Amino acid sequence: MLKQSLSRPNSADDAVPLNLSSILLVESDPELRDSRRLLLSALRHPVLAVSAYAEVCALPTDSNCGLVAIDIRPSEHEAARIAVHARRTWPRAKILLLGHPSNDFDDPLYDDAVSPSCNPSGIVESADKLLRARMAPLIATVAHPPDRRFNKSRTRT
């Protein structure tokens, strides 16, 4: 069940609803969190920014989101815990790992990863690609709804 009224603060003066097209950003560094939230907001999706695993777990289980962007700091273990929780809570959400140092990254827990040397536009491009992939089945259903015309197997009397 989607709760449109759910709000969590991004800052003291800012709150956004968490919904199907929302981005959940998990970043422990407050300055980097603010700049990445601003950067991801360029995608025109609500961005909810939290700092740790405990805050992600505190979100209501009936909330939903389309993308979870996780910074690898403070540890890979913490990032993995967040990703596992996100997969259980929002199974259709895409997960983007921010700051993975390896170019040959291949972990099925994450849908994509960007390296620490990636420029900001690379983060936006990866996030946009994942959100589009997440929304594609929904768009296809709206564009091509099931045929609900009269069932031809029936006969009129």
The encoded tokens of residue 40 equal 């991801």
Contacts 24+ apart (CB under 8 A), 109-118: 109/80, 109/83, 109/84, 110/70, 110/83
Domains of the chain: 18-143 (3.40.50.2300)
Give the bridge partners for 11, in sequence order: 14
Whole-number Cα distances in Å, 55 to 29, 30, 36, 50, 75: 14, 14, 17, 6, 16
How many residues are there in the chain? 157
Q: CA nearest 28: which of 50, 59, 54?
A: 50
What is the pLDDT, as a whole number, of residue 11?
A: 42
pLDDT tens digits for the chain (157 residues)? 333 333 344 443 344 445 557 899 999 999 999 999 999 999 988 899 999 999 999 988 777 789 999 998 878 889 999 999 999 999 989 999 998 766 566 788 899 988 877 888 899 999 999 998 877 654 444 444 555 555 555 555 4
The encoded tokens of residue 93 equal 């959400």
3-class secondary-structure state, position 24 = strand
pTM of the model: 0.73
What is the pLDDT, as a whole number, of residue 149?
A: 52
